Amino acid sequence: MKSRIANGLSLLACVLLVVACSPESTQNDSAAAAVATPNTATTTPSLASEDETHQVTIDLGAEDTLKVLYSYPNSPSSAESLTDTIEHYLNQRLQRDTIGNASAIVSINSDGDYEAVLSGDYDHISDYQSQISTFLANGELAAKAVVNLKNNKLWNEDEWRFFLPLGLSIINQRSVQLLHFPPDYSLPEQNYLDSKTSQRWEKLLVLNDVANDEVTLYESILDVAPIAAPASAGSTLSETYSYFEPYVVKMLPLLLDIDEGSSDALPIVAYGGPVRSWVTSYFNIEDFGVNSFDTVTIDGVSAPILGANHPSYIWYAKDQGRAAAMNVMQEDLISACWQAKMGATPTLNGASTLANCSTYWQEKPMTVCINMEIQAFDQTEDEAKKSCKNDLPDLAKLNNKETTPTQI
């Protein structure tokens, strides 16, 4: 099984991380928490070796297939070659896997096929060979689904483009983020994480003691519809889910780190109503709402899964007022807490971890309020402190079903 973190660090990580969200935590419930400086006690040492560079050569395949899998060209006006495009995403992977002194060089061999040489200060860099090859093979299932959708006249040629989750952590990842679809602008910008939704969730993870330089390890994304589309496209994608299911189900073992015989799966967070509905239907789960914990069986392995709001939901909830936005903010902080703790130590009890995270954030109303004002209402930290000091929304009087909009 591919290594996630050097074995010598695992016991230290367990001891330091398992109780980080307990109600007994001594984190100050003050405005300083809005800045969210990570707790150094939960920051693991570097994943990289210090003195030795390792290297692996990966056969990527034929040009025609790679053009489809890498959505080439990523924008109509781009002068970038296919080689440059692949190299860009592979270098992003290395960076987001926190590989030191990393480099990816793509070339065309004597047979006309593409190959990549990946190097970096990481003992297990050879793991990329199987991971990248499997990722591309799984991606072909999604590409086949697109062909079938087009044949059945269910594809929007004007607004949709096929887009796999390229450039994300695939070796040292600590959780899987199950999302709906990527925003259309992320493809021409060639950055899967350059979105307001991803950036907001990163802040929530940091508020739950994930180190800034490790946050990308928690962002291994899998979309139930791998289609770069406008934000308004959400409801129009529902007919595509069944077409992409073979791809999603095949990709999960790879991203959950159970594809090579592991008995422990990384945690999954399912964001937003459409994704939670897909999970409910496919895995036959009942009452899978926000901050509902369950387990799903994937390739014979039990994987912990949590339902969550979509990261952008707070910007819809705020239209119903500060109390509604604060309720969503608290829910999101609890979800991110669970993701952070389970990702750091996957063997934790998922239900107990959720209970600890719930208690922790329910006892931090001022911190929740300050971050809600900053994230939902674009206030400065000083403005947020003043607003919350003068008028702290009363969550005890909030009926979520009556005051918040339909889930997205």
Residue ranges making up the domain that contains 183? 28-41+159-403
Q: What's the CA gap between 274 and 255, in Å, rounded?
A: 21
- For 153-158, the CB contacts below 8 A with 24+ separation are 154/239, 154/240, 154/243, 156/229, 156/233, 156/236
The predicted structure's pLDDT at residue 28: 39
Domain count, the chain: 1
Do β-strands 176-179 and 161-162 pair in parallel, antiparallel, or remain unpaired? unpaired
403 pLDDT tier (thresholds 50, 70, 90): very low
Q: Is residue 346 part of a domain?
A: yes
The predicted structure's pLDDT at residue 248: 98
Residue 134 is given by DSSP the state H
The closest alpha carbon to 319, from 328, 310, 311, belongs to 328
DSSP notation for 256-308 = TT-TTS-S----EEEESHHHHHHHHHHHT-SS--TT-EEEEEETTEEEEEEEE
- For residue 318 the two structure tokens come to 């705020």
Q: Does residue 12 carry a pLDDT above 60?
A: no
Q: Is residue 228 part of a domain?
A: yes
Between vectors from CA 300 to CA 296 and to CA 301, what angle results, nearest 5°?
60
408 pLDDT tier (thresholds 50, 70, 90): low
- For 295-300, the CB contacts below 8 A with 24+ separation are 295/350, 296/268, 298/249, 298/252, 298/253, 298/256, 298/258, 298/265, 299/253, 299/258, 299/259
What does R_g of the chain's alpha carbons equal in angstroms?
A: 21
| Mean of per-residue pLDDT scores for the chain | 88
- For residue 218 the two structure tokens come to 């928690």
Phi, psi torsion values for 376, nearest 5 degrees: -90, -35
40 pLDDT tier (thresholds 50, 70, 90): very low
Give how far the C-alpha of residue 348 lies from the chain's centroid of Cα atoms, to the nearest Å: 19
Instruction: Name 269's bridge partners.
Output: 177, 306
Q: Is residue 8 part of a domain?
A: no
Q: Is residue 92 part of a domain?
A: no
Q: Is residue 170 part of a domain?
A: yes
Query: Mean pLDDT throughout 263-270?
Result: 95
Q: Is residue 52 part of a domain?
A: no
The closest alpha carbon to 370, from 395, 344, 388, belongs to 388
Instruction: Name 98's bridge partners.
Output: none
Of the given ranges (44-58, 143-157, 318-332), which has the lowest mean pLDDT?
Answer: 44-58
The closest alpha carbon to 309, from 271, 346, 341, belongs to 271
CATH code of 352's domain: 3.40.470.10
Burial class (CB in 10 A: 0-12, 13-18, 19+), 235: exposed
Between vectors from CA 323 to CA 317 and to CA 328, what angle results, nearest 5°?
50
Q: Does residue 400 carry a pLDDT above 90?
A: no
3-state secondary structure (DSSP) of residue 378: coil
The predicted structure's pLDDT at residue 396: 65
Q: Is residue 388 part of a domain?
A: yes
3-state secondary structure (DSSP) of residue 228: strand
Q: Is residue 66 part of a domain?
A: no
Q: Does residue 184 carry a pLDDT above 60?
A: yes
Tell me which of 32 and 55 has the higher pLDDT. Answer: 55
The predicted structure's pLDDT at residue 26: 35
Q: How many residues does the chain have?
A: 408
Each residue of 60-99: pLDDT tens digit? Answer: 999 999 999 999 999 999 999 999 999 999 999 999 999 9
Query: Mean pLDDT throughout 277-295?
Result: 97
Burial class (CB in 10 A: 0-12, 13-18, 19+), 21: buried
Q: What's the CA gap between 128 and 134, in Å, rounded?
A: 10
Q: Cis link prior to 73 (omega < 30° from 0)?
A: yes
The order of strands in the sheet holding 220-223 is: 220-223, 176-179, 268-271, 301-308, 293-298
The closest alpha carbon to 131, from 257, 318, 267, 280, belongs to 257
The closest alpha carbon to 292, from 274, 310, 304, 278, belongs to 304
24 pLDDT tier (thresholds 50, 70, 90): very low
Residue 219 is given by DSSP the state -
Q: Could you tell me if 407 and 316 are in contact, meaning their C-beta atoms sit under 8 angstroms apart?
A: no
